[in-house]
Amino acid sequence: TAFNSLNHDMTLTEFKFIWYMEYSHRMWGRVVGLAYILPAAYFWRKGWLSRPMKGCVLALCGLVCFQGLLGWYMVKSGLEEKPDSYDIPRVSQYRLAAHLGSALVLYSASLWTGLSLLLPRHKLPETHQLLRLRQFAHGTTALIFLTALSGAFVAGLDAGLVYNSFPKMGERWIPDDLLAFSPVLRNIFENPTTVQFDHRILGITSFTAVTALYLFSRKIPLPRRTRMAVTSLLAVACMQ
C-alpha cells in the first residue's frame, strides 16, 4: 500500500535502510526484554528478592511484554488497507501515543526502582514548603508526560509539516482551522493544526513549569543530590 501510493520510486537500497531501522528497533526491544526477564528469573530463583520487590519485578516484566505487544499492534495499523481512505498510509496516532506512553512509564518505573535500591532515601522534615515542592514536582512530571504524548500525535499525523514558523503559526497566533473538525473534541486528536498547536502550548507550559520548579527549589534547604537533580532537569528542559 505504502509503495503504491507514496514510495513508488523508492530504490531497493532506500527500502533496505528503512527495513534495517525497523529490524534493529525490534531486536533491541527483544534484548531489553531479555535483560529484564532473565536476571529477574535468576534472582527470584536464588531467593534474593523481597516480597515487595517480587511484585515490582513482575509488574516491570509484564510491562515489557505489554510494550512489545503494543508495538506490534501499532505497526499493524500501518499495514491495514483502508478502502475508503486516500490518505498517506501511516500508523494510528492513538496506537503510537500508547506505545510511546507505555515506554515512558516503563523507563520511569525502571529508573525509579533502580535509584530506590541504589540510593538511600533522604529523611527530611515534612515542612509545608517541602510538601508543596513535592506536589509541584509531581504536577510537572504529569505535564511533561502529557507533552510527550502530544508529540506522538504530532508524529502520527505528520502535524509538524503543517506550520513551520514560531512563535506564530503562519501569519496568525491562532490558526483559522484550529476547530475545523466536527465534533470539536475530534480536533484535539485528529486535526493536524490543533495537534501541533496543543504540542506547542504544552511544550511552553512544561518549560515554564520546570523553570518555576527550579526557582522554588532554590528557596528551600535541600540535599545536594536533590539540588543536582532539579538543576539537571532545568538544563535538559533548556536543551530540549
Q: Is 187 exposed, middle or buried (0-12, 13-18, 19+ CB in 10 A)?
A: buried
Query: Are 142 and 220 in a shared domain?
Result: yes
On whether residue 111 sits in a domain, the answer given is no
Report the alpha-carbon distance of residue 175 to residue 177 in Å, rounded. Answer: 6
Q: Answer yes or no: do 31 and 77 share one domain.
A: yes
What span, in angstroms and rounded, lies between the C-alpha atoms of 159 and 153? 8
Which residues make Cβ contacts (< 8 Å) with residue 108, sequence separation at least 6?
A: none
pLDDT at site 86: 53
Do 138 and 60 share a domain, yes or no?
no
Q: Which residues of 129-138 are buried (b: 16+ CB within 10 A; e: fewer)?
A: eeeebeeebe
Both ends of the chain: CA-CA distance in Å? 35
CA angle, residues 226, 231, 235, in degrees to nearest 5: 145
51 in a structural domain: yes
The reply to whether 85 and 129 lie within a common domain is no
pLDDT in tens, 105-115: 999 999 999 99
Distance (Å, whole) CA 207 – CA 41: 41
> Of 98, 132, 156, which residue sits at a domain end?
98
pLDDT tens digits, residue range 115-162? Answer: 999 988 878 888 889 999 999 999 999 999 999 999 999 999 999 999
Domain span holding position 10: 1-98
Number of structural domains, the chain? 2
| Residue 231 domain flag | yes
Helix (H, G, I), strand (E, B) or coil at 225: helix
Give yes or no: residues 126 and 224 share one domain. yes
Alpha-carbon distance of 78 to 18, in angstroms, equals 14
Q: Identify whether residues 144 and 233 lie together within a single domain.
A: yes
Residue type, 97: A
Rounded alpha-carbon distances, angstroms, from residue 27 to 31, 34, 68, 140, 212: 6, 11, 11, 33, 40
Residues 125 and 234 reside in one and the same domain: yes
Among 79-88, 151-160, 221-230, the minimum mean pLDDT is found in: 79-88
Same domain, 6 and 57: yes
* Residue 60 and residue 134 in one domain: no
Q: Domain check: are 191 and 228 in the same one? A: yes
The whole-number pLDDT of residue 85 equals: 53
Residue 55 and residue 3 share a domain: yes
Is 22 found in the same domain as 128? no
Q: What is the DSSP string of 204-219?
A: HHHHHHHHHHHHHHTT
pLDDT at 120: 81
